[in-house]
């Protein structure tokens, strides 16, 4: 069988940057003995190393160099067509007992799983180069920052990790010599990219991740979903902080008053767009800045929640991204970007469905086949991605790297719901807000394999990412509340409600500023609202519609709370709570019952 990741030959002076920490050296040696690579490349994160690896990746056809004039320093990668999204069915939490992983996770026994994976990894890197990537998650000087090492045989992973994390020397410095220091062990091998031998396994008690058989970012950039969320959430509970699937944005009024907001939406539901929002003309003088677009780590300081973005890059969904929908993302990806599974034009530019302007007359689609506008297939895969550095974002928050984090005034939960959920409503308090997050539902998207468009419970957008029992995760949230003397206010939004004829009722994108403005008014104590069965909604006079082409009737539809829809919603919530059995915290059941009572009375 053809080796899909042939070894590179390593020039002197590169690939030899070992740490001083004996625990890391011992672990790498152990993995080397198991996987028998041809050689080992210790990454240092330098520019010289970067240039060398890019040359190797293009020589091996892992990357295609794009037009230097149109997209400088950028490349296209085509994945194996069987490997285009996260695989939740093959993702495991390997805790000592099944209960510790809880019913929302796939569980497998740690001992048996280590043996199975060891069998698969034995000799897996024969004829390949084993890359060792040291990295940190979090700003360089933050108390929340974590060190990780990822071993991989994929040069594509190395080049992505260089964008997504702070990689190389900086991690060795942070780790130091202490062999007992906390650090994450990540092992990844492409094996033969066979879905039958694809497993993403987490061992929270050992701070270890083993991922095999995939090259897709969400499965193999172990810093992201695996460390920052699954292992991260486990560590967060143990250590008293929060690891969440949330964007973080800053919003500043024309008078210079600034707030930070964190928002949890499921995968491919617009976190990147919201984090880079451009306020419409009516909001001249308002500024929205991005701290993060996917993950928030939050700690309590002086009774407030402070958030950092542990990442250093964006791994975003490409289709639909345009100067109209997200100009800041477009600027972020016009250079220094790795594209995965988009189309290639005749002049070596990239194209995707939803990009500005007309489609090209002909292109090569994401599978490498000829494509024209008459083709029935999509040119770009619906989950095609960009990997781009945060520093490319023209609205990157100036305090993006502030180690202590940024104070969070509001937390927003939101799903993709064609019906039931109003445009926005506010929770009464932290406990009610925790209930709203815990009962979030959303229609599934192409970010994970499986059917698209089906409503499923996705509590706090963490269903695929919580590294332990979801009931205990809810309890952890409940316990954070009383520790906050100045808690963020909690809201729920839904940009995706549709009319009876299937059209979106709300324009979304920049116009979401109007919802954000009401949220800020509430945070500052001067926004009005009306109490409903589910929470507080803005009254017509509380919500700024000036210069917006949305009728009062549409607004009524956007805010309508229909008892028959809510009956179904409450039943679905109850059914989900039931699955958590004895781990389901009583206060959240009581919150559910209170809403049900309000509809009954």
- Catalytic pick among 201, 269, 390, 466: 269
Q: Report whether 8 contacts 155 (CB < 8 A).
A: yes
Of the two residues 464 and 585, which places its CB atom closer to ligand OXD in the complex? Answer: 464
Q: Per-residue contact track with ligand OXD, 67 to 106, x per CB under 6 A? A: -------------------x--------------------
Indicate the helix (H) or strand (E) that contains 519. helix 512-523
SS3 annotation, 429-445: CHHHHHHHHHCCEEECC
Instruction: Report 436-465 residues binding Mn ion (CB under 5 A).
Output: none
Of the two residues 241 and 315, which places its CB atom closer to ligand OXD in the complex? Answer: 315
C-alpha distance from residue 226 to each of 158, 348, 535 (Å): 16, 33, 34
Cα-Cα-Cα-Cα dihedral sign, residues 469, 470, 471, 476: positive
Name the binder of 104 from Mn ion, ligand OXD, none, CB < 5-8 A by kind.
none
Of the two residues 219 and 409, which places its CB atom closer to ligand OXD in the complex? Answer: 219
- Exactly one of 154, 211, 267, 392 binds ligand OXD (CB under 6 A); which one? 267
Could you say whether residue 41 binds ligand OXD (CB under 6 A)?
A: no
**Catalytic status, residue 43:** no
Name the binder of 86 from ligand OXD, Mn ion, none, CB < 5-8 A by kind.
ligand OXD
Of the two residues 44 and 458, which places its CB atom closer to Mn ion in the complex? Answer: 458
Could you say whether residue 218 binds ligand OXD (CB under 6 A)?
A: yes
Helices (H), 287-404: 327-332
Please return the burial class of 282, using the count of CB atoms within 10 Å of its CB with bins 0-12, 13-18 and 19+: middle
- Shortest distance in whole angstroms from residue 449 CB to ligand OXD: 11
Q: Alpha-carbon distance 391 to 380, whole Å?
A: 26
Taking CB under 5 A as the binding criterion, the range among 101-109, 197-205, 293-301, 350-358 that sits at the site for Mn ion is 293-301
Could you say whether residue 315 binds ligand OXD (CB under 6 A)?
A: yes
- Shortest distance in whole angstroms from residue 21 CB to ligand OXD: 30
- Shortest distance in whole angstroms from residue 255 CB to ligand OXD: 34
Nearest CA among 365, 118, 385 for reference residue 272: 385
Q: Per-residue contact track with Mn ion, 76 to 115, x per CB under 5 A? A: ----------------------------------------
Residues in contact with Mn ion, counted by CB under 5 A, come to a total of 2
Indicate the helix (H) or strand (E) that contains 316. strand 313-317
Q: Is 168 left (phi over 0), alpha (psi -120 to 50) or beta?
A: left
Q: What is the DSSP letter of 9?
A: P
- Shortest distance in whole angstroms from residue 381 CB to ligand OXD: 13
Name the binder of 401 from Mn ion, ligand OXD, none, CB < 5-8 A by kind.
none
- Shortest distance in whole angstroms from residue 446 CB to Mn ion: 13
Neighbours of 532 (CB within 10 A): 13
Residue indicated by tokens 């000829």: 370
Name the binder of 333 from Mn ion, ligand OXD, none, CB < 5-8 A by kind.
none
Nearest CA among 6, 3, 4, 62 for reference residue 38: 6
Residue number closest to ligand OXD, CB atom:
267
Q: Alpha-carbon distance 187 to 148, whole Å?
A: 11
Instruction: Report 246-275 residues binding Mn ion (CB under 5 A).
Output: 267
Neighbours of 255 (CB within 10 A): 7
- Shortest distance in whole angstroms from residue 569 CB to Mn ion: 24
Of the two residues 40 and 220, which places its CB atom closer to ligand OXD in the complex? Answer: 220
> Could you give the angle at which helices 22-35 and 110-121 cross, rounded to 10 degrees?
60
C-alpha distance from residue 369 to each of 72, 81, 125, 139, 412 (Å): 24, 12, 30, 42, 42
Of the two residues 267 and 383, which places its CB atom closer to Mn ion in the complex? Answer: 267
Could you say whether residue 447 binds ligand OXD (CB under 6 A)?
A: yes
Nearest CA among 499, 432, 471, 492 for reference residue 579: 471
- Shortest distance in whole angstroms from residue 317 CB to ligand OXD: 8
**Binding residues vs Mn ion (CB under 5 A):** 267, 294
List the catalytic residues.
269
Which residues form the interface with ligand OXD (CB under 6 A)? 86, 218, 267, 294, 315, 447
């Amino acid at each position: 069988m053809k080796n899909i990741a042939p070894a590179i030959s390593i020039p002197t002076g590169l690939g030899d940057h070992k740490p001083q920490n004996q625990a890391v050296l011992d672990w790498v040696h152990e993995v080397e003995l198991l996987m028998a690579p041809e050689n080992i490349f210790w990454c240092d994160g330098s520019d010289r190393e970067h240039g060398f690896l890019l040359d190797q990746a293009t020589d091996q056809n892992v990357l295609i160099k794009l037009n230097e004039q149109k997209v400088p320093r950028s490349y296209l990668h085509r994945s194996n067509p069987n490997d285009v999204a996260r695989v939740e069915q093959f993702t495991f939490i390997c805790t000592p007992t099944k209960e510790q992983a809880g019913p929302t996770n796939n569980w497998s026994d740690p001992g048996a799983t280590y043996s199975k994976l060891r069998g698969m990894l034995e000799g897996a890197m024969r004829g390949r180069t084993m890359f060792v990537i040291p990295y940190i998650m979090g700003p360089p000087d933050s108390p929340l920052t974590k060190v990780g090492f990822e071993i991989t045989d994929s040069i594509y992973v190395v080049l992505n990790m260089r964008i997504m994390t702070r990689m190389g020397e900086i991690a060795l410095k942070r780790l130091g010599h202490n062999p007992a220091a906390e650090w994450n062990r990540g092992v990844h091998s492409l094996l033969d990219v066979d879905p039958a031998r694809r497993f993403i396994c987490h061992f929270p008690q050992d701070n270890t991740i083993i991922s095999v058989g995939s090259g897709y970012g969400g499965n193999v950039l172990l810093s992201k979903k695996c460390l920052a969320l699954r292992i991260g959430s486990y560590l967060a509970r143990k250590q008293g902080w929060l690891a969440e699937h949330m964007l973080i944005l800053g919003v500043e009024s024309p008078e210079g008053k600034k707030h930070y907001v964190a928002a949890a939406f499921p995968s491919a539901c617009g976190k990147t767009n919201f984090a880079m929002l451009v306020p419409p003309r009516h909001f001249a003088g308002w500024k929205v800045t991005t701290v993060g677009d996917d993950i928030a780590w939050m700690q309590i300081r002086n009774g407030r929640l402070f958030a950092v973005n542990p990442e250093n890059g964006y791994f975003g969904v490409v289709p639909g991204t345009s100067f109209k929908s997200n100009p800041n993302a477009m600027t972020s990806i016009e250079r220094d970007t790795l594209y995965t599974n988009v189309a290639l034009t005749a002049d070596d530019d990239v194209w995707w469905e939803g990009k500005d302007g007309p489609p090209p007359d002909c292109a090569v689609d994401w599978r490498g086949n000829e494509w024209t506008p008459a083709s029935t297939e999509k040119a770009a895969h619906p989950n095609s991605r960009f990997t781009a550095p945060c520093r490319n974002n023209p609205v990157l928050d100036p305090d993006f790297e502030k180690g202590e984090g940024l104070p969070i005034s509001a937390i927003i939960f939101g799903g993709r719901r064609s019906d039931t959920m109003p445009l926005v409503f506010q929770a009464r308090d932290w406990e009610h807000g925790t209930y709203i997050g815990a009962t979030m539902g959303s229609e599934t998207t192409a970010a994970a394999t499986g059917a698209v468009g089906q409503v499923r419970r996705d509590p706090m957008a963490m269903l695929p990412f919580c590294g332990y029992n979801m009931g205990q995760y809810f309890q952890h949230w409940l316990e954070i509340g009383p520790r906050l003397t100045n808690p963020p206010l909690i809201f729920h939004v839904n940009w995706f409600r549709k009319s009876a004829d299937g059209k979106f009722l709300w324009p979304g994108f920049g116009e979401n500023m109007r919802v954000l403005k009401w949220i800020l008014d509430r945070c500052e104590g001067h926004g009005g609202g009306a109490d409903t069965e589910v929470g507080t909604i803005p009254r017509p006079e509380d919500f700024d519609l000036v210069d917006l082409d949305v009728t009062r009737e549409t607004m009524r539809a956007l805010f309508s709370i229909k008892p028959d829809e809510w009956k179904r919603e409450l039943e679905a919530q109850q059914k989900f709570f039931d699955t958590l059995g004895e781990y389901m915290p009583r206060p959240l059941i009581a919150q559910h019952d209170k809403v049900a009572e309000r509809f009954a009375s």
